[in-house]
């Protein structure tokens, strides 16, 4: 784990359910133990939930999750279940990745995997094109972002930052992975990790938003 200086953070603070490491809760109000427990219970009830994020930017907390290959949202009390069906061609999967202060949602979509029969996962998966979007639930409006000056075909959002920036992870053709800070349109990329350091994951910002902690997975393991 290491730390780097960053701009102040404006988005969600992550908390991982200790007994459910694959379930992620996101809350700009910080860690909420009761909410973590409730989210874990609701995901159990939803059958094999893979990943969940809780939006606390609205009056009623909402849980976004992926279950049985579908991305959905529901209120924290279990009501208002809604499956997302975006009418965008050539996108195979969708996943909520973060929340703006005004309630808009950051989404990641992926085209059909380039890995498959006769194509090894570690050689082809990172060649799958990805897309980053902002979705306004109130207006039912979807807008693609980070389309300018793309650093790699495989680019995924990691954290939202203040002043219209976000952290993204890129994986290049040679499988080199790095984290960058970029504008929402994809411009003005600034290195956060260096090439060859390893795959950055598990990012977490300090309460004052000025320090970033993360893990690096190298070729030799975690």
pLDDT of residue 17: 31
Give, in words, the CATH class of 2-217: mainly beta
> In the predicted model, what is the mean pLDDT of residues 106-126?
88
The domain limits of the chain are 2-217
Chain segment 142-197, per-residue pLDDT in tens: 999 999 999 999 999 999 887 789 999 998 888 888 999 999 999 999 999 888 88
> In the predicted model, what is the mean pLDDT of residues 56-66?
72
pLDDT at 65 over 80: yes
Q: Across the strands, what pairs with 156?
A: 169
Lowest mean pLDDT among 10-24, 110-124, 175-189: 10-24
Beta strands in the chain (DSSP E): 2-5, 13-16, 24-27, 49-55, 62-67, 70-75, 82-83, 93-99, 105-110, 130-136, 141-145, 154-161, 165-171, 177-183, 190-191, 199-205, 211-217
Lowest mean pLDDT among 34-38, 140-144, 175-179, 207-211: 34-38
């Amino acid at each position: 784990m290491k730390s780097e200086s960053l701009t102040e953070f404006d988005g969600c603070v992550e908390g991982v359910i200790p007994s459910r490491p694959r379930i992620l809760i996101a809350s700009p109000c910080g860690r909420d133990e009761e909410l973590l427990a409730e989210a874990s219970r609701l995901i159990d009830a939803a059958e094999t939930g893979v990943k969940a994020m809780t939006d606390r930017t609205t009056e009623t907390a909402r849980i976004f999750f992926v279950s049985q290959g579908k991305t959905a949202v529901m209120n924290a009390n279990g009501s208002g279940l809604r499956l997302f069906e975006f009418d965008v061609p050539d996108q195979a999967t969708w996943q909520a990745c973060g929340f703006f202060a005004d309630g808009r949602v950051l989404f990641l979509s992926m085209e059909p995997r380039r890995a498959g029969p006769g194509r090894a996962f570690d050689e082809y998966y990172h060649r799958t094109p990805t897309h980053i979007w902002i979705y306004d639930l109130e207006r039912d409006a979807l807008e693609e972002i980070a389309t300018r000056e793309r650093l790699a075909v495989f680019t995924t959002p990691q954290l939202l930052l203040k002043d219209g920036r976000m952290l993204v992870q890129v994986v290049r053709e040679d499988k080199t992975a790095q984290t960058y800070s970029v504008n929402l349109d994809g411009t003005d990329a600034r290195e956060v990790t260096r090439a060859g350091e390893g795959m950055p994951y598990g990012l977490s910002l300090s309460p004052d938003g000025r320090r970033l902690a993360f893990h690096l997975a190298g070729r030799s393991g975690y």
